[in-house]
A and B are shown apart, each in its own frame.
Chain A
Amino acid sequence: MSEMLHAQNVAKSFTLHTQGSVTIPVFQGVDFTLSGGECIALTGESGSGKSTFMRMLYANYTCSDGSIKVFHDGDWLDITTASPHSILEVRKRTMGYVSQFLRVIPRVPTLEIVAEPLVALGTARETAMDKARDLLTRLRIPERLWQLSPLTFSGGEQQRVNIARGFITDYPIMLLDEPTASLDAQNRATVLALIEEAKGRGAAIAGIFHDHETRDAVCTGSFDVTSFKVGAND
């Protein structure tokens, strides 16, 4: 399958100005590619920078060096130098991200939160709502909760709302940060099925998975971020 994302010589360090301007190097020289139809697991022990790397791929974090090119609208766009406007376009149409946190305006109903990314793409409201209902049903969110804000839900339910929102759009690239953490076996199986379906339609997926079973079930390869830690090869 064709390449969808290409990170080259990427480095990241944090400078904490409020704490004596200490600089914390995270990694350097990272080369990473992601192609359609594959699901790559980002691996490395806790604190090794998996989530940091994923946030950089989504342009949520800046890069200290290197480039991250994303295939967007038939062209390569370097998101480390792209304008905020272009990055928002990439996020709207090309790259989805399922984070571990649900950040929404209080009082907006769950159904609308799930449907929103599809509505933003210009899909008819009712079509988007139907798809949102399907996903919420598959992820076992009881119908009586759909008109409520997910902010009142349990952690596992919020996680599933996040997943529904992330999977409602057929993004060519998907980033999944621990999508199955805090889910029971049945719901985990549903998420694995969603990932398989996304792979099947040719999506390029990178994920962080906390358990081996999930990783073994859906991943076509893995990428260890530890080897790029600053000082790892000294």
Chain B
Amino acid sequence: MTQMSNPLLRVDNLTMMYGDRVGCKDVSFELRPGEVLGIVGESGSGKSTLLRSISAQQEPTKGTVQYNTRIDGVCDVYQMSEAQRRLLMRTDWAFVHQNPRDGLRMNVSAGANIGERLMAIGDRHYGNIRSNADAWLGKVEIASERLDDLPSTFSGGMQQRLQIARNLVTSPRLVFMDEPTGGLDVSVQARLLDLLRGLVHDLNLAVIIVTHDLAVARLLSHRLMVMQQGKVIEHGLTDQVLDDPQHPYTQLLVSSILQN
């Protein structure tokens, strides 16, 4: 039963200071396999800082991030060796950026973008890499004939799906997403949401998704964390937080959504 599964990630009292300024403060939570955690809050509330500190991109001022690795069990992400951390980041973890240009290599083909992550973990068989890349293009609904095209010839929505394929090809267990539907128009957004939800379910992915779009948070995440001025002010079941918010700021956030 999933309820018994151990946490995949455990964050304790994570604090990131920029001099005297608070990036994020005293954040603690656990994440299990298959669980999607949404982080919402206005710009500057510390969402992205938190995501970077958890995903080993920026060492926090205080606090710990522990990850249940496949080989060595639970490890402190900032205590492991540089090589160990790099391996983790390109195999078991994935990072989907808001701007696909930050997550893709724009001057090599779509196939090479996907294949690169496979080669980084030691895959050397060209035929396998190519067929694997092709299969992943299919999963993110990009036609095979675009395999040798440069990402720069793709639309924004396609680039975003390519970035997801590049990230998921190594079968990660934890995916970090920073506003993955941010710059996309609504029809493309719906398609991406549908795709992400399917992949999360089929691959039992744990996801931490930062978004300012409460509708996206509602549709994708099981749990929601609301941030304001670097602190988590409300944390709970997604529909409970959105439908019966307790904190003044969450109430303001929810009541500010435009109705259509």
Enumerate chain A interface residues (CB-CB to B < 8 A). Answer: 14-18, 21, 55, 59-62, 84-89, 103, 105-108, 120
Q: What is the total number of residues of chain B having a CB less than 8 Å from a CB of chain A?
A: 27
Query: How close is B228's CB to chain A, nearest CB, in angstroms?
Result: 13
A62 touching B240 by the CB < 8 A rule? yes
B243 touching A55 by the CB < 8 A rule? yes
Q: Given A18-B255, A89-B3, does the pair A84, B193 have CB atoms closer than 8 Å? A: no
Chain B residues with Cβ under 8 A from A88's Cβ? 222, 237
Chain B residues with Cβ under 8 A from A108's Cβ? 194
Is B251 in the interface zone, CB < 8 Å from A? yes
A59 touching B222 by the CB < 8 A rule? no
Please name the residue on chain B nearest to A151 by beta carbon: B190
A85 touching B3 by the CB < 8 A rule? yes
Choose one: A59, A89, A107; the contact of B191 (CB below 8 Å). Answer: A107
Q: Given A85-B35, A108-B194, does the pair A60, B3 have CB atoms closer than 8 Å? A: no
Q: Which of B99-124 contact A (CB under 8 A)?
A: none
Q: Given A18-B248, A61-B240, does the pair A85, B193 have CB atoms closer than 8 Å? A: no
A60 touching B248 by the CB < 8 A rule? no
A87 touching B190 by the CB < 8 A rule? no
Chain A residues with Cβ under 8 A from B3's Cβ? 85-86, 89
Q: Which of B228-260 contact A (CB under 8 A)?
A: 236-237, 239-240, 243-244, 246-248, 251-252, 255
Chain B residues with Cβ under 8 A from A106's Cβ? 187, 190, 193-194
Choose one: A16, A60, A61; the contact of B251 (CB below 8 Å). Answer: A16
The majority secondary structure among interface residues of chain B is helix
A61 touching B248 by the CB < 8 A rule? no
Please name the residue on chain A nearest to B253 by beta carbon: A18
Q: Given A62-B246, A107-B194, does the pair A17, B252 have CB atoms closer than 8 Å? A: yes
Query: How close is B24's CB to chain A, nearest CB, in angstroms?
Result: 21
Enumerate chain B interface residues (CB-CB to A < 8 A). Answer: 2-3, 32, 35, 187, 190-191, 193-194, 197, 201, 218-219, 222-223, 236-237, 239-240, 243-244, 246-248, 251-252, 255
Query: How close is A101's CB to chain B, nearest CB, in angstroms?
Result: 11
A61 touching B244 by the CB < 8 A rule? yes
Please name the residue on chain A nearest to B255 by beta carbon: A18
Highest count of chain B CB atoms <10 Å: which of A59, A86, A105, A107: A105
A17 touching B248 by the CB < 8 A rule? yes
A41 to B190, CA, bound (A): 38
A15 to B222, CA, bound (A): 25
3 shortest interchain CB distances as A-B pairs: A17-B248, A106-B190, A84-B237
A106 to B195, CA, bound (A): 11
B252 touching A107 by the CB < 8 A rule? no
Q: Given A17-B248, A85-B32, A105-B190, does the pair A61, B243 have CB atoms closer than 8 Å? A: yes
Query: How close is A218's CB to chain B, nearest CB, in angstroms?
Result: 27
Q: Given A85-B35, A107-B190, A107-B191, does the pair A59, B240 have CB atoms closer than 8 Å? A: yes
Query: How close is A55's CB to chain B, nearest CB, in angstroms?
Result: 7
A60 touching B190 by the CB < 8 A rule? no
A105 touching B219 by the CB < 8 A rule? yes
Please name the residue on chain A nearest to B190 by beta carbon: A106
Please name the residue on chain A nearest to B35 by beta carbon: A85
Chain B residues with Cβ under 8 A from A21's Cβ? 248
Chain A residues with Cβ under 8 A from B32's Cβ? 85
Choose one: A14, A18, A86, A105; the contact of B252 (CB below 8 Å). Answer: A18
Chain A residues with Cβ under 8 A from B222's Cβ? 84-85, 88
B237 touching A59 by the CB < 8 A rule? yes
A88 to B191, CA, bound (A): 25
A105 touching B197 by the CB < 8 A rule? yes
A59 to B239, CA, bound (A): 9
A107 to B141, CA, bound (A): 14
Chain A residues with Cβ under 8 A from B236's Cβ? 84
Chain B residues with Cβ under 8 A from A62's Cβ? 240, 244, 246
Choose one: B194, B246, B248; the contact of A105 (CB below 8 Å). Answer: B194
A60 touching B255 by the CB < 8 A rule? no
Chain A residues with Cβ under 8 A from B191's Cβ? 107
Chain A residues with Cβ under 8 A from B218's Cβ? 103
A106 to B186, CA, bound (A): 10
Choose one: B237, B244, B248, B252; the contact of A87 (CB below 8 Å). Answer: B237
A86 to B187, CA, bound (A): 34
Highest count of chain B CB atoms <10 Å: which of A21, A106, A120: A106
